[in-house]
C-alpha cells in the first residue's frame, strides 16, 4: 500500500511541478492543499489519513495536541532547517520523524528591497493612478543615495541587505543586542550605539531579527515614536517583533512616512483585518520565501527526505 503525503499551504499548486517526485512515486501518493486550515480541528480532520506531511515554513503549528490526533503520521517535513512551531518532544514520543530541507536567504533580501523601493518611489500609488487615468505624477520620491539605512540585525539576511544599501550609496548602520563593532565593520557597516539611536537617525529601518523572548515586541509605541516623520519601516522578518497595534496607530496618525510589511500576526489575513486597509502601508502576503529557486530547494529536499526515510536512514533531522 502506498503511503499518503500531504503538502500544506501549496497556494499556487506548484509543489509537484517545481521538483521531481518520480523517485518516490511508486511508494507515495502526494496530495497538495491549496487552502489554509484555520484551526486544529479542521487540520486534524484533513490530515487524519496521511503518513507524511510537508509543512511550509512556520505557517502551521504542530503542538502535542495536534500530533496526538494524527496516529498515522510518521514523517513531518518542514521547509528550511529551523522551525519553532513544532513540538519536537511530542513528535519523538509519538514516533514521528521530523526533517528539514535546504533553503536560501536571498529571496527575503530581494523582497525587502522591493518593499523599500516601492515605498520610496510611491510605485503602488503611481501605478494605480496611471492605470486608472489619474494624475500624471502625484508623489515625490524619497532618495536612497546619501540616506541612512538602519538594520535591526546583521545576520545572513541583514548583511546581504546591507551590501545592497551600500551599492546604492547609502550610509548603513546596524544594531542588535550582541552585534559587535568588528562584525559591523566586516560588512562596511556602522555599529549604532543603541536601538534608540538607530531608529531616530535612520531614513529607512529594516527588521532582520529572529523572533524570540528578547525580540518579541522589540519595536513598540515608544520606539516607533523615535522614527523621523520622513522615515520608512520595513519588516520581512516576523510580525511579533513590531507591536502590531502600535504600528497601526502610528500609520493612522501619520507619525512616519510609511511601512512595508510582509509578515502578520495572523496568516492568511482575515478579510476584515485592519492591516488590509491601513494607510501608508505597502503590504505583501508573506512572499519573502516565495521564489521558484526556494520552492525547488524545499520540495526537492522533501523528496530526498522521503527517500531517506523509506530507506531507514533519515537525513536533516530536526529537534
| Residues designated as active site | 238, 267, 286
DSSP 91-157: HHHTT-EEE-----SHHHHHHHHHHHHHHHTTHHHHHHHHHTT--S----PPP-TT-EEEEE--SHH
> How far is 140 from 188, CA to CA, in rounded Å?
30
Local structure of residue 283 (DSSP, 8 states):
E
Cα dist from 22 to 68, 72, 123, whole Å: 31, 23, 43
Task: Provide the sign of the torsion angle of the four alpha carbons 15, 20, 24, 25, taken in this order.
Answer: positive
DSSP 38-107: -SHHHHHHHHTT-SEEEE-TTSS-B-HHHHTT-TT--EEEESSS--SSB-HHHHHHTT-EEE-----SHH
Residue position matching grid coordinates 536571498: 106
> How far is 267 from 269, CA to CA, in rounded Å?
5
> How far is 207 from 238, CA to CA, in rounded Å?
8
17 in Cβ contact with 40 (< 8 Å): no
Phi-psi region of 169 (alpha: psi -120 to 50; beta: other; left: phi over 0): left
Amino acid at each position: 500500500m502506498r503511503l499518503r503525503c500531504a503538502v500544506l499551504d501549496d497556494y499556487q499548486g506548484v509543489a509537484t511541478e517545481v521538483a521531481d517526485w518520480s523517485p518516490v512515486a511508486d511508494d507515495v501518493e502526494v496530495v497538495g492543499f491549496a487552502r489554509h486550515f484555520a484551526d486544529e480541528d479542521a487540520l486534524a480532520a484533513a490530515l487524519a489519513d496521511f503518513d507524511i506531511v510537508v509543512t511550509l515554513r512556520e505557517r502551521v503549528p504542530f503542538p502535542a495536541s495536534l500530533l496526538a490526533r494524527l496516529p498515522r503520521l510518521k514523517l513531518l517535513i518542514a521547509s528550511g532547517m529551523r522551525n519553532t512551531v513544532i513540538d519536537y518532544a511530542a513528535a519523538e514520543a509519538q514516533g514521528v520523524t521530523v526533517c528539514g530541507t535546504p533553503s536560501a536567504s536571498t529571496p527575503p533580501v530581494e523582497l525587502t528591497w522591493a518593499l523599500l523601493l516601492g515605498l520610496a518611489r510611491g510605485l503602488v500609488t503611481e501605478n494605480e493612478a496611471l492605470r486608472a487615468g489619474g494624475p500624471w505624477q502625484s508623489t515625490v520620491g524619497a532618495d536612497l543615495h546619501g540616506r541612512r539605512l538602519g538594520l535591526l540585525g546583521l545576520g545572513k539576511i541583514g548583511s546581504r541587505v546591507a551590501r545592497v544599501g551600500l551599492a546604492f550609496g547609502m550610509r548603513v548602520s546596524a544594531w542588535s543586542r550582541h552585534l559587535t563593532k568588528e562584525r559591523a565593520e566586516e560588512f562596511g557597516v556602522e555599529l549604532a550605539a543603541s536601538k534608540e539611536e538607530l531608529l531616530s537617525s535612520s531614513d529607512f529601518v529594516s527588521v532582520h531579527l529572529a523572533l524570540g523572548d528578547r525580540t518579541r515586541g522589540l519595536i513598540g509605541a515608544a520606539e516607533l515614536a523615535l522614527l523621523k516623520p520622513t522615515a520608512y519601516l520595513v519588516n520581512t522578518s516576523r510580525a511579533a517583533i513590531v507591536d502590531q497595534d502600535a504600528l497601526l496607530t502610528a500609520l493612522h496618525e501619520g507619525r512616519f512616512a510609511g511601512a512595508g510589511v510582509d509578515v502578520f500576526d495572523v496568516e492568511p489575513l482575515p478579510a476584515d483585518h485592519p492591516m488590509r486597509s491601513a494607510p501608508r502601508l505597502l503590504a505583501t502576503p508573506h512572499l519573502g520565501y516565495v521564489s521558484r529557486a526556494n520552492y525547488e530547494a524545499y520540495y526537492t529536499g522533501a523528496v530526498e527526505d522521503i527517500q531517506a526515510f523509506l530507506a531507514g536512514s533519515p537525513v536533516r533531522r530536526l529537534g
